[in-house]
Amino acid sequence: MITEEQLKNTPFSCDISNEDYHGGPGLSNSGISLLLDCPKKYWDKYLNPDKPAQEQTPSLRLGNMVHCFLLEYEEFYKRYFVAPKTRKGTKAYDELVLVAGGREIIDVEEEDTLHKILKAVNEHKFAKHILKHGHAEQSIFWHDSETGVLCKTRPDYMTQNYIVDVKTTRSASWEDFGKSIANYGYHRQAALALVGREAISGLRDTNFINLCIEPERPFIVSAFVMDDDAIKQGILEYKRGLRIFKQCSEENYWPVYVEELEEISVNQRFLNNRRNQYVSS
């Protein structure tokens, strides 16, 4: 857990669990993404006293397994218990839970998939070299110099020369992952990681690499380095998110999309796309 004493002496990095990182103080890209979309969504997820417990989605569960298997293999079998596929609610499954002793149960087919993903990474000309001589899952905390807001980031893997972020994705193609960067704010995540790293180490001009993995056959792997324009845009956006957070916190007011009656029209880009569907080539 993060202590009050540590928070008084930012910036710092530490080894804490993923749960402690996400449940602890500080603003990360996940929260900033909600603030930029709609501050009320941020309040509901993080500040609402009646918020429901968050459930782990299948995609998040798979992503966590891949991260642990690739980046912290020595920890994998301490966190996961492998067994034949067993239906929940049965006596056999209840017995497995006892044997697992608190570890998350995965089936042998899932373990086999993880080995195939590792094999695909090791067969990629570039990717096979980048997960070496570094540190995995370091949590970084610092106070933003402009707003004073506590920021945090948790790079998947850091070396002296670059940061690696592992992404399981439906498509690891250049075009599709470029869309994912925009849709999910991965450029903001990269900017936060690079700024956080500089805060604790003074290192600048570090490359940010996305290691993209399709978790289904044939397990395609791609590696992309984030360009300067993406990083600059990411910095602009996350700084705007911090200013929104500071204002909302000070005013204790978290607005929705539209506060009053506003006029609206058809989205022209959408309308043009619909029209183009009926134009013969």
Phi and psi torsions of 130, nearest 5°: -90, -15
Query: What CA–CA distance (Å, rounded) separates 45 from 254?
Result: 12
Residue (of 210, 177, 229, 240) closest to 33 by Cα position: 240
Residue of 5 and 159 predicted with greater confidence: 159
pLDDT at 281 (0 to 100): 46
257 in any annotated domain: yes
Identify whether 254 is part of a domain: yes
Helix spans in 159-278 (H): 174-184, 186-201, 228-251, 268-276
* Strands in 134-216 per DSSP E: 135-136, 139-143, 150-153, 157-158, 162-168, 207-213
Number of domains in the chain: 1
Domain contains 281 = no
**Per the structure block, which two tokens stand in for 53?**
């417990």
Domain span holding position 30: 4-276
Please name the residues in contact with 63: beta carbons below 8 A apart, sequence gap of 6 or more.
167, 168
Q: What is the mean pLDDT of the chain?
A: 92
Q: What CATH number is attached to the domain comprising 264?
A: 3.90.320.10
Q: How confident is the model at residue 279 (pLDDT cuts 50, 70, 90)?
A: low
pLDDT for 32 equals 97
The residue that leads in pLDDT, 203 or 123, is 123
Q: Would 17 be classed as within a structural domain?
A: yes
> Is residue 106 classed as helix, strand or coil in its secondary structure?
strand
Q: The pTM is what?
A: 0.88
**211 in any annotated domain:** yes
Residue 268 inside a domain? The answer is: yes
| Assigned token pair, 188 | 């903001």
User: Which SS3 state, helix, strand or coil, does residue 166 take?
Assistant: strand
Phi, psi values for residue 14, rounded to 5°: -160, 165
Helix (H) / strand (E) element for 170: namely: none
